Chains A and B, each alone.
Chain A
Amino acid sequence: GAGVSQTPSNKVTEKGKYVELRCDPISGHTALYWYRQSLGQGPEFLIYFQGTGAADDSGLPNDRFFAVRPEGSVSTLKIQRTERGDSAVYLCASSLRGTGNSPLHFGNGTRLTVT
């Protein structure tokens, strides 16, 4: 079946602009995660949805970052007033339950470059 789909695969934007990154999870998966990965680093947790609600948004670095999942399926990560330090690969993952040994299934990521 279809895996986790992330669009766009690459995004180049100018400092100060607004960007939206989209994630389409595996059908039926209730949990959805966003991570950020910089070169040579492990995935850094941003936010976790269980259904439509953000179960944990403690990883969002500041109020320029916001994510939604209005119908409990597709999610959008929104970054306002982008900064060069926001440049990274943004990974989305979904999980059937999100708890216990239910694994995460990752998309291929969106590479964001802020110039």
Chain B
Amino acid sequence: AQSVTQLGSHVSVSEGALVLLRCNYSSSVPPYLFWYVQYPNQGLQLLLKYTTGATLVKGINGFEAEFKKSETSFHLTKPSAHMSDAAEYFCAYNFNKFYFGSGTKLNVKP
């Protein structure tokens, strides 16, 4: 079955530290991958999307994701965390329809 897997339901980092949120996908064909962010009581907002041919994708709010086909991964990173980054992050995959991972809650400590 097609799916995305997010490792770690909760991640906690200090303000200014590197953010790394992991996403692995299962597929034998190049997928269409996305990262979304959800703030409390809001819908999901697109952070970035994979573009065929690119390995490093830049998104909003300083986030970026690296596509590694050999590892079937699309991890999300940000060099320096801000308090405002505290939210839940979802990796998603489009193959006939959109599938979402179970999410990772990011906590940023002052």
User: A residues engaging B (CB < 8 A)?
Assistant: 4, 33, 35, 40-43, 45, 48, 55-56, 91, 93, 99-109
When the two chains form their complex, are residues A106 and B51 in contact, meaning their CB atoms are under 8 A apart? Answer: no
- A40 proximity list for chain B (CB < 8 A): 103
Chain A to chain B: the 5 pairs with minimum beta-carbon distance, closest first: A106-B43, A42-B100, A106-B44, A101-B32, A108-B43
Q: How far is the CB of B103 from chain A (nearest CB, A)?
A: 5
Q: How far is the CB of B40 from chain A (nearest CB, A)?
A: 11
Q: How far is the CB of B54 from chain A (nearest CB, A)?
A: 11
Residue count of chain B within 8 Å CB distance of chain A: 24
What DSSP secondary structure best describes chain B's contact surface? strand
Q: Which of A33, A100, A105, A109 contacts B32 (CB 8 A)?
A: A100
What are 8 A-B residue pairs whose CB atoms fall within 8 Å in the complex? A33-B97, A42-B101, A42-B103, A100-B94, A101-B94, A106-B43, A108-B43, A109-B42
What DSSP secondary structure best describes chain A's contact surface? loop
- A41 proximity list for chain B (CB < 8 A): 102-103
Of all chain B residues, the one with the shortest Cβ separation from A33 is: B98
How far is B48's CA from A59's CA once the two chains are assembled, in angstroms? 26
Of all chain A residues, the one with the shortest Cβ separation from B52 is: A101
Q: B50 in the interface, Cβ–Cβ < 8 Å?
A: yes
User: B residues engaging A (CB < 8 A)?
Assistant: 32, 34, 36, 41-46, 49-52, 90, 92, 94, 96-103
- B92 proximity list for chain A (CB < 8 A): 104
Of all chain A residues, the one with the shortest Cβ separation from B98 is: A104
How far is B50's CA from A33's CA once the two chains are assembled, in angstroms? 20
Q: How far is the CB of B29 from chain A (nearest CB, A)?
A: 12
- B41 proximity list for chain A (CB < 8 A): 108
- A48 proximity list for chain B (CB < 8 A): 97
Of all chain B residues, the one with the shortest Cβ separation from A6 is: B43
- A108 proximity list for chain B (CB < 8 A): 41-43
Known: A99-B94, A100-B32, A101-B32. 11 other contacts (CB 8 A): A33-B98, A42-B102, A43-B44, A91-B43, A101-B51, A103-B34, A106-B44, A107-B43, A108-B41, A108-B43, A109-B43
